[in-house]
Amino acid sequence: MNRSQSHCLLEAHSISHAFDYPLFDEVDIKLYPKESLAVVGKSGSGKSTLLHILSTLLPPLKGIVSLLGMCDIYALPQKKLLLLRREAVGIVFQSHYLFKGFSAKENVEVAALLAKEPIDKKLIERFGIAHVMQKRVSDLSGGEQQRVSIARVLTKKPKIIFADEPTGNLDSATAKEVMDAVFEYIKEHDAALFLVTHDTDLAKRCYHLYELKERRLHPLQ
């Protein structure tokens, strides 16, 4: 299937945002099934903010985000936006946001229950976290929490994955294994991946690569 034959999963048009000062302007993005897109850029350039805007979490100052056939998601009633996020969007946060008082297993189970999907035991094995699944999240290492958080997102079977520094706490071999699983997932499920990272090798694995610099998104590949 090529781009002209499939529906765009994510379309962002002319996005601008600012907090105390302007972050970026005129950001345009299109993402189709089986595609991945990486954004690199200096710390503080606005990568996480852009990811939050594209992933239903933060309305931009200007511009339109359309996701999974829903035009202008921030014009939707709040309930519809929440439903879209819950049912079809998978977000791997830079700071994980797991339920810290619960076990790793319970965290993945919540996603499985909500999505009415089974837990993929092979994936848990592959991520090297089977032996820590009974532990409380607050007792896990940063890298273990990161892998639980990615396993939780894949368990949900989202149509689009937004991942903010998903391998920031992982050694290179573990990072490769985990990201291999994510790339395989988007191919097998006609899903898409929007990735923010400081890891240039990982960024280069993506179909599109951009640098966020001087308030604009510059294509690098």
Q: Which residues bind ligand ATP (CB under 6 A)?
A: 19, 23, 41, 43-49, 94
The span from the CA of 62 to the CA of 138, in Å, is 38
Minimum distance of ligand ATP from residue 37's CB (angstroms): 15
Minimum distance of ligand ATP from residue 18's CB (angstroms): 9
Query: 46 or 63: whose CB is closer to ligand ATP?
Result: 46
Minimum distance of ligand ATP from residue 142's CB (angstroms): 15
Minimum distance of ligand ATP from residue 131's CB (angstroms): 30
60 binds, among Mg ion, ligand ATP, none (CB under 5 to 8 A by kind): none
**Residue 49 engages Mg ion in binding (rule: CB under 5 A):** no
Q: Residues 48, 55, 56, 155: which binds Mg ion (CB under 5 A)?
A: 48
Interface contacts to Mg ion, rule CB under 5 A:
48, 94
